[in-house]
Amino acid sequence: MSPTVLSCDKKLTYNVQPCLLRLIATLWYNMVMQKILEIKNLSYKYDGESDIYAVNDVSFDILRGEWVSIIGRNGSGKSTTARLIDGLMAASSGQIIIDGKQLTEENVWELRQKIGMVFQNPDNQFVGSTVEDDVAFGMENQGVPRVEMLSRVEAALARVDMSEFKTKEPARLSGGQKQRVAIAGIVALRPDIIILDEATSMLDPKGRLAIVDVVREIKEQFDLTVISITHDLDEASLSDKIIVMKDGQIEQIAKPSQLFLNNNLVEIGLDVPFSANVANDLRQAGLDIPETYYTESELADFLCQSILTK
Ligand code: ADP
Ligand code: MG
């Protein structure tokens, strides 16, 4: 074999291998870690005349099956971002790609079916005169056949533990029960993404936890992607990643453990959770505490166990 041919072969081998690897990695990524939502340079202003953007050049990706929290001060653009994703308003500029399709004026109704939103105030989201009518409402709009609709209403109400209230008036329910019914209405529509916009903020801590638990179970059962806008950092600490917004922009995207270790949360306008502060101080004092986020009771358990096993 002549030297020229050899070098040519070598070149080919060197060029083809990384290329093949990249191809395999891309295929694997698309198959296993599929992006369900891509936000590219998204901007929005409520007043066309003004130069103040409520959402200003925001970009992020969300993978299928992820639980993502969006946190940030009031007015930082979280709800506006959610409304843009749900097609309730059209972006001033930028792209929203849902399950591989770019959101446009033409396909907004089709793509909205992939998304279910639960809002902060449960009273503003009821349309039906009974709980079951309310859960059925979205399906009626989508033209789901009646028999199918009835069975989905039953299943969705059972899923959120509200079957016994199906003939009741929504107005008579407690805040937590109303949010359960709102979630049932969404589950019945079989979306890919559920967006909770401070959906638990009007509930007491017990009610909050119950809703988060229901959403978590539903997420697992239906392979849902969850985007939760929340002020509850204990809830956010359980998510796969946290997006921090500030003044209409993305301040940071991080895993909860990274975010809570990093004390600039105060600059962002958020309080560092008490347990994260204690854990950070103990680490600085030389205690060997894993770099993960603990809620107060988890930290107490960890400390008791590490003391007991010494
Ligand atoms: P967040 O959900 O983080 O509290 P929002 O997305 O609601 O923030 O608000 C972002 C910015 O847009 C704020 O400055 C807010 O005052 C403004 N804004 C929100 N809704 C409206 C509206 N309907 N009309 C005009 N300005 C609005
Ligand atoms: Mg909001």
Does 106 score more than 90 pLDDT?
A: yes
Give the predicted TM-score (pTM) of the model. Answer: 0.82
Distance 306 CA to ligand 1 centre (A): 46
- What are the tens digits of pLDDT across the range 147-183? 999 999 999 999 888 999 999 999 999 988 999 999 9
- C-alpha 96 – ligand 1 centre gap (Å): 19
Ligand 1: which residues within 6 Å by Cβ? 46, 54, 72, 74-80
Q: Whole-angstrom Cα distance, residue 268 to residue 95? A: 26
Altogether, the residues listed in the chain come to a count of 310
Averaged pLDDT score across all residues of the chain: 87
Please say whether the beta carbons of 140 and 149 come within 8 A. Answer: yes
pLDDT of residue 5: 42
Q: What is the structure's pLDDT at 68?
A: 97
Ion ligand 2 residues within 5 Å by Cβ? 79
DSSP characters over 219-245: HHHHT-EEEEE-S-HHHHTTSSEEEEE
Tell how far the Cα of 79 is from the centroid of ligand 2, in angstroms: 4
Contact by Cβ (8 Å): 205, 127: no
Rounded Cα distance, 72 and 86, in Å: 20
- Among 107, 39, 25, smallest CA distance to 68 is for 39
Q: Which residue ranges make up each domain of the chain?
A: 1-32, 35-257, 274-308
Q: Is the dihedral of CA 173, 174, 179, 180 positive or negative?
A: negative
- Pocket residue to mutate for ligand 1, from 46, 81, 201, 229, most atoms within 8 A of Cβ: 46
Segment 284-289 long-range contacts (CB within 8 Å, at least 24 positions apart):
none
Flag the least confident range among 61-65, 143-147, 288-292: 288-292
- Please provide the CATH number assigned to the domain covering 35-257: 3.40.50.300
pLDDT of 288 reads 87
